[in-house]
Structure 1
């Protein structure tokens, strides 16, 4: 019998802990007896990263602020001197998925993208390669992890309907004007056993993943060669790259093909080691930044995405005809002014899922008006210093030829007007 939850899912867990404990015991025994998952046996993978792990989640408390009152995070991930590093830091569990008052705007963009371009944006590699397994099971695991997290942290936005007889969430409903409601597949562990997941089931689940958070998601699976491959993803608002060009690629090949500055020299070894070793109980996060030009506000548009969050058209031209060789080749030079400049920052989260060993890579993209940034004490000077410290390869990679002259001219004028002010000392990346 179905029952709508009026209390957080964690309360239900506390009332039925004995059933969950029994399932955990069975799962631990499975891991001990078999030592590795069937996928690991088939492809010769390291059971330390691919076998099921017994893992006790840290407790999650309800966020004391309703989603409609949560301001977007004010990331300022630039230092006076730019260095090419991974810049990883430990992730706070309660911050895994960031939700804020712009959820409805992101949802409108993401829903439109799913309706119009799902075949290009939501992709899974088939489970047919002897080199690397599929992400099918990882998709189901990730979806249920997300539902649990979102309902526990933000029950005002995410309502869950529980199948009390079977003991798992069957639906998630979003507190938006049209109350979208999505069916959930059974979890991976049913009656103490890891079940099989079909491609069709995983694909439907991945579409739900795409719509219930403000993040994009990539699922990374370890291959027999100990490299990690992009085996699935819901990348709806990438700005400058397309999942259909990257799906199935190894991470190092992906970054080398994209000509990420100094990747081979400074990043490849460290990143490979990180993905190989990341444990289930130590998720990480990082931020990056760049700039894009959007249309002036005077351009009257009834657009679902007026800031070009999904695709930076003025930088890269038409999304459908875009190719890696066309990066930053715009159809015409855009109007660059303080009003049209945006700082684009990705807050990326990385965690290994305990049942499948799949690495879930979350990408939350923020756009900040450069005029608003420059109004903050000390930020204009710091940002100008950061941009001037870019090496030529970084300058080219970030498409700075389109905007750097106007950006630096504006930032310098702000510094000259305000003087050598110093803002409050804040830890990176704020």
Structure 2
């Protein structure tokens, strides 16, 4: 007689599966020792009915043990409720593409920045360019301290109308873009790929988590700038930190403005909190069943040279399309792998930089403008935002011919005051409840002539610009300002060497500063 036991195997992905049936029999060993169990695939000698009963009980007990372990180590996906015990859940990365189980991640205690002053605190001096001659194409990812998630500075309150007149917020479903300054909504088509489609209630839940995370962080990090006016009563599965109850009313003290996080559109409020006081743009990326990440919601107020309407609903690599990009395939694969593996407890940050030209100071279109440096949109280079041709990363041909738009011409050294250095500080963080990855994007823009006064900067900057390969130079529009900026920075570097500020050949670097 033989007994079949469905054996268990654990594959390299930590998932259980059944092996082909095995058969076993008892064989008496020498010396009267207890019987040994031998596993084989052929029929074995007969055993007594009593022995068989004991064997079946033993097999059933083993099978029950394995089933119990399988359920405790590999639970079924949790449908929208946070798991209670960290030791009861499998690793957050052990999942299928497009799947996410809410995590019990607790944001570390935030150290309040008590001496922060909107009138005095300067922004971090990000100078994310490296010495040449080699230009390395990398993502430039660095670990981020949780205290530094969202950074404020004096520049925020100088021209708050810039973002108010250029706000872009998704409202409702992923296909809807609200244009606050246009007073209307625009509906665009999302990609037809395997992007995760969400019910409106689920989508609102993702956005609600976002606005609560932002509100909880800002009121802790900048307590004399952001204040919790009221909270709702705590419930077991709410979105609050430290079980205090979700924020109901939040106030931006310097602006004397309040928002209701429970009643107003969460993505719109997230954008207003950020752009009225901190000035970070927001982009929510969600994983599809193809393991690619799709841009599903955002508040984009200072993009400079890309439009949310062209990117919403599309995969990550589409955001970086428009003009040539060096090693596109390499970057795409690297980004996708990184996004899939990003953990809730490992936020990161990165920087990039560009140059752009602006109108002369006495240009009638600049005089009286609230955005003379073209922080929100680089119309000197790219024309009117509404007539931007995304595939070519330039104004539409019909707009050029019908509007009298004159394509920008390269400028000389005498116009160096028109060149602006534009840099973004980005943070990437996975939200624990939804699994969405949140980009925060803070843009800084400064005159190149100002940066050239800083010790060591002109030499490093000019070396970095000369290291750009042809496709990078084209993507960054180098032909518009090369004649002006290269000779100017060479002169400023030479002056610093002559004055002993730096030494020739000195290559100190504190990237990204």
User: Normalised by the size of structure 2, how large is the TM-score?
Assistant: 0.68
Deviations along 1:38-96, one digit per CA (max 9) or x if unpaired, are xx99xx6454xx21111122110110322312101110100012221111000111111
Paired residue secondary structure (1:151): helix
Q: Which has the higher contact order (CA 8 A, sep 6+)?
A: 1
Structure 1: runs of 5+ lacking an equivalent: 1-25, 187-199
Distance 1:137 1:116, change over 3 A: same
1:323 aligns with 2:378: no
Which of 352, 368, 373 does residue 302 from structure 1 map onto? Answer: 368
The residue number in structure 2 matching 1:111 is 164
1:80 aligns with 2:131: yes
Which of 222, 226, 238 does residue 154 from structure 1 map onto? Answer: 222
CA contact (8 A) 2:305 2:382 kept: yes
Moved more, 283-292 or 211-220: 211-220
CA distance in 1, matches of 2:266, 2:193: 17
The residue number in structure 1 matching 2:401 is none
CA distance in 1, matches of 2:488, 2:306: 28
CA distance in 2, matches of 1:278, 1:106: 35
The residue number in structure 2 matching 1:102 is 155
CA distance in 1, matches of 2:191, 2:249: 27
Q: How far 1:257 moved relative to its partner?
A: 5.3
Paired residue secondary structure (1:233): strand
The residue number in structure 2 matching 1:427 is 510
CA contact (8 A) 2:282 2:298 kept: yes
- Rg comparison, structure with higher value: 2
Distance 1:110 1:153, change over 3 A: same
**Superposition pairs of residues 253-332 of structure 1, within 5 angstroms:** 253-256=318-321, 258-264=323-329, 266-299=330-363, 301-328=367-394, 331-332=406-407
1:55 aligns with 2:105: yes
Which of 184, 190, 199 does residue 261 from structure 2 map onto? Answer: 184
The residue number in structure 1 matching 2:114 is 64
CA contact (8 A) 1:36 1:52 kept: no
The residue number in structure 1 matching 2:310 is 245
Deviations along 1:260-300, one digit per CA (max 9) or x if unpaired, are 22121x31221111100100000011000010112333446
CA contact (8 A) 2:283 2:299 kept: yes
Paired residue secondary structure (1:113): coil
Deviations along 1:323-382, one digit per CA (max 9) or x if unpaired, are 124425673325562211111001110000001000001110001211111111121111
CA contact (8 A) 2:275 2:301 kept: no
Distance 1:416 1:161, change over 3 A: same
CA contact (8 A) 1:31 1:52 kept: no
CA distance in 2, matches of 1:27, 1:201: 23
Q: How far 1:133 moved relative to its partner?
A: 3.2
CA contact (8 A) 1:351 1:361 kept: yes
Kindly indicate which of the two structures has a greater share of residues assigned to helix: 1
CA distance in 1, matches of 2:474, 2:421: 16
CA contact (8 A) 1:221 1:358 kept: yes
Which of 226, 229, 232 does residue 297 from structure 2 map onto? Answer: 232
Q: How far 1:311 moved relative to its partner?
A: 0.4
Which of 467, 474, 480 does residue 402 from structure 1 map onto? Answer: 480
Structure 2: runs of 5+ lacking an equivalent: 1-80, 168-179, 235-244, 396-404
CA contact (8 A) 2:230 2:250 kept: no
1:354 aligns with 2:432: yes
Paired residue secondary structure (2:438): strand
CA contact (8 A) 2:302 2:377 kept: yes
Q: How far 1:136 moved relative to its partner?
A: 3.3
Q: How far 1:155 moved relative to its partner?
A: 1.5
Distance 1:419 1:276, change over 3 A: same
The residue number in structure 2 matching 1:192 is none
Paired residue secondary structure (1:102): helix
CA contact (8 A) 1:67 1:154 kept: no
Q: How far 1:163 moved relative to its partner?
A: 2.4
Which of 259, 263, 280 does residue 215 from structure 1 map onto? Answer: 280
Distance 1:415 1:125, change over 3 A: same
The residue number in structure 1 matching 2:171 is none
Deviations along 1:394-429, one digit per CA (max 9) or x if unpaired, are 000001111111110111121233336248945210
CA contact (8 A) 1:67 1:99 kept: no
**Superposition pairs of residues 120-131 of structure 1, within 5 angstroms:** 131=195
Paired residue secondary structure (2:360): coil
Q: How far 1:125 moved relative to its partner?
A: 8.2
